[in-house]
Amino acid sequence: MSFVEYGDTIKDGDTAIVFLGHESMFPVKVQHGSKTQTKYGVIRHSTDLIGKRYGSKVTCSKGGWVFILHPTPELWTMNLPHRTQILYSTDISLITMMLELKPGSIVCESGTGSGSLSHAIIRTVAPTGHLYTVEFHQQRAEKAKEEFQEHKVEHLVTVKNQDVCKNGFGVSNVADAVFLDIPSPWEAIGHAKSALKIEGGRICSFSPCIEQVQRTCLAMEEHGFTEINTLEILLRVYNVRTISLQIPDLGKAAEDNSSTGFDSSSQSNQGSLYGILQQGAAQFKSGVPLKEMVGHTGYLTFATKSLF
């Protein structure tokens, strides 16, 4: 297995995802002799995991079961240990497409943070591209390096521990795309421009506050970037539920013969509209929004560097 290539069976040293149920999963480092506790019991790596096919069901000691999944950057984003606030797949998807990332792309990123976007970029630019990622916090830079090694993608990424606003990305005129998720992106626009290839490239800045966006757009314009465009993307999730609504009792009309509206005897008229399961209720399937959803993560500003 690898974060940039699928494997069929679980091997010693793999990072696998243990799936317990709806929105409940966690990553696990597969090792001979190790044991992992879950609420359904113990999983013994040597007997339960190693050699099994990814996607298999594993029964735990208490009798309950889980699924073992192959890691993907998306699953990693949902389960990684947070060292900073991270970017989620919704924003990551748009960033990837708008920066025109693909196999072979050279990308510069700062800050590395918890590596959520980094893993997604590495996956997209493999096997011939490269990610240069800059993180000014020493421990976070170290941890990121460790994780990339554990996930066997270190050949596709270079981690630098420095301040991108002062010292840039450490490379010149090599990048197809630059991504900034830092407190003062306008201070790094100049460095971003010099990191991008001479013939041009794409840039993206992610900022939670509109004031940051304003300063950044101005800086981009001053540095000659074109096609400056700010947008935001939100994810709306729906739960699929079978809903049963009661049919109100509007009473019976005085005369015997009349039967109108929701009178139970004439429900067959309404029955064609909904599947009437039991007396007095109409059932239907609905996509129900969550009670609360993530609204604003940040504004995404994209721009193009070109020779003209």
Partner 1 sequence: MEESAKPGLRIREGDCAVLKRDEVFKAVLVLRRRKVIFEKQWFYLDNAIGHIYGTTFEVSSGGSLQPKKKMEETTTETKEAGTDNRNIVDDGKSQKLTHDDIKALKDKGIKGQEIVQQLIENSTTFRGKTEFAQDKYIKKKKKKYEAVITIVKPSTRILSTMYYAREPGKINHLRYDTLAQMLTLGNIRAGNKMIVMETCAGLVLGAIMERMGGYGSVIQMYPGGGPVRAATSCFGFPESFFNTLYEFPLSKVDSLVSGTFSSETLPSEPEYNVPAEEESNGSLDEKQTLIQETEEESSTEAVMESNETEEQETMDLAAEDTEYKGSKEKGNKENIREKQRKQQERRRKLVETAALLEEKNADGLIVASRFHPTPLLLSLLEFVAPSRPFVVYCQYKEPLLECYTKLREKGGVINLKLSETWLRNYQVLPDRSHPKLMMSGGGGYLLSGITVTAEKVQSDASSLEAQKIEEPTSKKRKLQELHC
Of residues 18, 48, 70, 189, which one binds partner 1 by CB under 8 A? 70
Of residues 73, 115, 168, 185, which one binds partner 1 by CB under 8 A? 73
Q: Which two tokens stand for residue 281?
A: 């209720």
88 binds partner 1 (CB under 8 A): yes
| 146 labelled binding-site residue | no
Of residues 80, 98, 171, 174, which one binds partner 1 by CB under 8 A? 98
Least distance CB 196 / partner 1 (angstroms): 12
81 binds partner 1 (CB under 8 A): no
Of residues 200, 223, 263, 280, which one binds partner 1 by CB under 8 A? 200
Cβ neighbours around 76 below 10 Å, total: 20
Nearer to partner 1, 106 or 141 (CB): 106
Nearer to partner 1, 198 or 250 (CB): 198
Applying the rule CB under 8 A, the residues between 214 and 273 that interact with partner 1 are 214, 217-218, 228-241
Buried b / exposed e along 207-231 (16+ C-beta atoms within 10 A) = beeeebbebbbebbeebebeeeebe
- Please give the radius of gyration of the chain, using alpha carbons only, rounded to the nearest integer: 26
The HSE-up count of residue 199 (CA atoms within 13 Å, CB side) is 1
Nearer to partner 1, 204 or 247 (CB): 204
Nearer to partner 1, 70 or 191 (CB): 70
Q: Which two tokens stand for residue 51?
A: 């050699």
130 to 6, 92, 170, 175, 188: CA distances (angstroms): 19, 17, 14, 9, 20
Cβ neighbours around 173 below 10 Å, total: 12
Site string for partner 1, 50-69 (x = CB under 8 A): ---xxxxx-------x-xxx
Nearer to partner 1, 6 or 166 (CB): 6
Applying the rule CB under 8 A, the residues between 111 and 130 that interact with partner 1 are 120, 123-124, 126-128
- Report which DSSP code applies to 46: I
Least distance CB 283 / partner 1 (angstroms): 12
Of residues 5, 142, 146, 249, which one binds partner 1 by CB under 8 A? 5
Nearer to partner 1, 36 or 267 (CB): 36
Whole-angstrom Cα distance, residue 94 to residue 272? 42
DSSP H or E stretch at residue 98: helix 89-98
- In 3D space, the residue among 97, 73, 77, 76 whose CA is nearest the CA of residue 87 turns out to be 77
